[in-house]
A and B are shown apart, each in its own frame.
Chain A
Amino acid sequence: MLHKSLEKSGAGFALPRQATLGSCPVERDLGVRTSPRAGRSLYTHHSDDREGMKVGLKVGQRLKSMVCSTEIMVITAPDGEIQLTCGGAQMTDGEGNGEGDSVHPDHASGSTIGKRYVSKVGDLEILCVKPGEGSLAVGDVALNLKDAKKLPKTD
């Protein structure tokens, strides 16, 4: 039985040379939304409301799924802002929602604990720290499972 851990919002690894682009906390103030569907809460899930905000990610940032129990940590973050989703819904750095609405069938292949997921060009790498039914994607494009490379034994 594992202990639920609280998350400090906005916590992330701040590297001296890493540019932090954009702010990460998901805004509930609808006025900040860039989506054309202004007026709809991000946390209302409709089958066609899969658009969310594009945000900048920080290395070390922890994010939670809004529709399943998946939790991730950002290992490599791309420049610029992207829309990171799990189970088809925007991920949040606030309280997750494991009991939320169902995972979108197009994004339901699951996330496995300890596995790394990467974008095609490799500018985004995610570590799954808690498993769940939803699978990870940037916009509509699913992330790929990274090959577990042979790392040199050091200890």
Chain B
Amino acid sequence: MMLLEMAASGYADRAAFIDAEAGTSITYQQLFGAAGVAAKAVQLSGASRLAMLDVSSLATPIGLFASGWAGVPYVPLNYRLTDEEIAGLLGRIKPVKLVTEPHRMPEFESATDVIAQTRNDFLESARSGGDVADPWSMDPEETAVLLFTSGTTGAPKAAVLRHKHLVSYILGSVEFMSAEEDDAALVCVPPYHVAGIAAMLSSVYAGRRVVQLANFTAPSWIELARTEKITTAFVVPTMLVRIIDALEGEAPLPHLQSLAYGGGRMPLSIIKRAMELMPDTDFSNAYGLTETSSTITVLGPEEHRAAVDSTEAEVQRRLVSVGVALPGIEVEIRDEAGRLLQAGERGEIYVRGEQVSGEYEGRGSVIDDDGWFPTRDAGFLDPEGYLFLDGRADDVIVRGGENFSPGEIEDVLLEHDAVADVAVAGVASEQWGEVVIAAVVLQGEATVEELQVWVKDHLRSSRVPERIQFWDELPYTETGKLLRRVVKARFL
């Protein structure tokens, strides 16, 4: 709330958020007031959390700040989950005030401890100018946000982000009121994605208008980028693929100064093509996790260009890295025994910093005694400190006593002209323990044998996928994550 209070003080009448689909907008001062009114309603309801089960709208920032003001955690929920899954999550956060879509309301009519309200009702009363809640607590230890992370096994874990983590992240990466009057950010990631929350907070603190696109399609994204003269945006890689597809042969986007991406692996051919199509746009690759309040390492625009312009393989390779750690963040690579590894050695990525939470509701913190958080992501550092990702540590394939990651095989297959996208995984084998399989999306002609020979020639025979299937597309979440377990399941 301190961030919003400063914003409302510094640039009260600037447009803060614009809901492009609804055609509505709100200024910083109005947002501040609405947050106060909504906070009072939350407090009166007796709810212990404010949950939002809806696409992005003006209710999203109002809900985020209102919950901070009211002193309860903000819990954006994934609306793509099944009714049963949603009911399960709600059960864990009761008594909860829930803001949601009209068609879901009947479900909650008789629900105990779920005080449901439609988004429009929430908006109307928040903006009606009633009494605001009492002053907010300034306790940085209070939980600001609860984000359920999708687990591959068992129930989703609720990652805890406290005010201190979020404020630390924002103050470490944004200067107050640093945005120009004309700056505009396009947010099209779902509200339950930590990057969306980070984007809202940083835009508020910078004084940069946020234009919300609730339902992403490449044509509407491009249209909005033009009409709203968007200067900065964040997308997940799967969105960028569609955007550049739709931009081929079209006029450029002259206002787009910077485009950041993250949340999943960016294929080399895609980022190269994007840089060719938008040479005046600064690209940044941001790596981070929900548990680290989003971004911890960045590959900035100069580094993108340096990699493309370089003739040295070492520098060129950095285009597929996720860059170097942000100030205040430390990154280490460790093996399974927890031993520190050297540059070039692959292991698990550990991170330390003020913005890192690593805490889950009901489970405590997984941070070790020295403050290090195990990301469960595999990767390695190059001698200059550039971080390269190598899939999840859990995705390691164990074949004939050898451990290797799907990433190295995927990287190699992506170098083949006919391969547009690929997912590699291990499936059980009596003989080997596990064998390698691959699901390939083609953009040309290739046979299974050709691709197998390709892998053998570029890596070695133990890495060759025993089975390859050709699919039209790979399964991704809305936040851009590859669903490797879905791929595996289809090979059984």
A contact residues vs B (CB 8 Å cutoff): 2-8, 11-17, 59-60, 62, 73, 75, 113-115, 127, 129-131, 148-149, 151-155
Taking A5-B138, A8-B139, A11-B139 as contacts, is the C-beta distance between A154 and B173 under 8 angstroms? yes
Besides A2-B9, A6-B138, A130-B6, 16 other CB < 8 A contacts? A3-B135, A12-B140, A13-B164, A114-B175, A148-B178, A151-B174, A152-B298, A153-B258, A153-B282, A154-B173, A154-B198, A154-B260, A154-B284, A155-B185, A155-B203, A155-B234
Contact A155 B6 (CB under 8 A): no
Interface of B (DSSP majority class): mixed
Q: CA–CA, A115 to B295, complex, Å?
A: 23
Contact A73 B202 (CB under 8 A): no
The chain B residue sitting closest to A71, CB to CB, is B2
Q: Does B294 contact A (CB under 8 A)?
A: yes
Taking A152-B300, A153-B232, A154-B298 as contacts, is the C-beta distance between A127 and B171 under 8 angstroms? yes
Nearest chain A CB to B30's CB is how many angstroms away? 13
Closest 9 pairs between A and B when the two form their complex, measured CB to CB: A114-B176, A155-B199, A154-B295, A5-B135, A152-B298, A148-B175, A154-B286, A152-B300, A13-B164
Q: CA–CA, A6 to B133, complex, Å?
A: 13
Contact B138 A113 (CB under 8 A): no
Choose one: A6, A11, A131, A155; the contact of B295 (CB below 8 Å): A155
Choose one: B6, B8, B371; the contact of A16 (CB below 8 Å): B371
B contact residues vs A (CB 8 Å cutoff): 1-2, 5-6, 8-10, 32, 36, 132, 135-141, 164, 167-168, 171-178, 185, 195, 198-199, 202-203, 232, 234, 258, 260, 282, 284, 286, 294-295, 298, 300-301, 326, 354, 367, 370-371
5 residue pairs A–B, Cβ–Cβ below 8 Å: A8-B138, A59-B354, A149-B175, A154-B294, A155-B202
Contact A152 B284 (CB under 8 A): yes
A60 partner residues in chain B, CB cutoff 8 A? 140, 164, 167
Contact B326 A152 (CB under 8 A): yes
B177 partner residues in chain A, CB cutoff 8 A? 114
Q: CA–CA, A2 to B132, complex, Å?
A: 11
B198 partner residues in chain A, CB cutoff 8 A? 154-155
B176 partner residues in chain A, CB cutoff 8 A? 113-115, 127
B173 partner residues in chain A, CB cutoff 8 A? 151-152, 154
Q: CA–CA, A60 to B141, complex, Å?
A: 11
Nearest chain B CB to A24's CB is how many angstroms away? 14
Q: CA–CA, A138 to B152, complex, Å?
A: 53
Choose one: B171, B286, B301; the contact of A75 (CB below 8 Å): B171
Q: CA–CA, A127 to B205, complex, Å?
A: 13
Instruction: Output the residue of A7, A114, A129 with the most chain B CB within 10 A.
Output: A114
The chain B residue sitting closest to A131, CB to CB, is B9
Q: CA–CA, A13 to B140, complex, Å?
A: 6
Contact A155 B36 (CB under 8 A): no
Contact A15 B294 (CB under 8 A): no
A153 partner residues in chain B, CB cutoff 8 A? 232, 258, 260, 282, 284, 300-301
Q: CA–CA, A83 to B357, complex, Å?
A: 32
Nearest chain A CB to B36's CB is how many angstroms away? 7
The chain A residue sitting closest to B354, CB to CB, is A15
B298 partner residues in chain A, CB cutoff 8 A? 152, 154
Nearest chain A CB to B237's CB is how many angstroms away? 16
Nearest chain B CB to A146's CB is how many angstroms away? 10
Contact A3 B36 (CB under 8 A): yes
Instruction: Output the residue of B5, B195, B301 with the most chain A CB within 10 A.
Output: B5
Contact A7 B6 (CB under 8 A): no
Nearest chain B CB to A52's CB is how many angstroms away? 23
Choose one: B2, B168, B282; the contact of A13 (CB below 8 Å): B168
Choose one: B8, B195, B258, B371; the contact of A2 (CB below 8 Å): B8
Contact A155 B286 (CB under 8 A): yes
Q: CA–CA, A155 to B411, complex, Å?
A: 26
B185 partner residues in chain A, CB cutoff 8 A? 155
A152 partner residues in chain B, CB cutoff 8 A? 173, 284, 298, 300, 326
Taking A114-B177, A115-B176 as contacts, is the C-beta distance between A14 and B294 under 8 angstroms? no
Nearest chain A CB to B1's CB is how many angstroms away? 8
A154 partner residues in chain B, CB cutoff 8 A? 173, 198, 202, 260, 284, 286, 294-295, 298, 326
A3 partner residues in chain B, CB cutoff 8 A? 5, 36, 132, 135
B282 partner residues in chain A, CB cutoff 8 A? 153
A12 partner residues in chain B, CB cutoff 8 A? 140
The chain A residue sitting closest to B208, CB to CB, is A155
Instruction: Output the residue of A6, A114, A149, A153 with the most chain B CB within 10 A.
Output: A153
B36 partner residues in chain A, CB cutoff 8 A? 3
A4 partner residues in chain B, CB cutoff 8 A? 135
Contact A5 B136 (CB under 8 A): yes
Instruction: Output the residue of A7, A60, A155 with the most chain B CB within 10 A.
Output: A155
A6 partner residues in chain B, CB cutoff 8 A? 135, 138
The chain B residue sitting closest to A59, CB to CB, is B354
B132 partner residues in chain A, CB cutoff 8 A? 3
The chain A residue sitting closest to B367, CB to CB, is A16
The chain A residue sitting closest to B259, CB to CB, is A153
Nearest chain B CB to A30's CB is how many angstroms away? 28
Q: CA–CA, A59 to B141, complex, Å?
A: 13
Q: CA–CA, A81 to B32, complex, Å?
A: 36
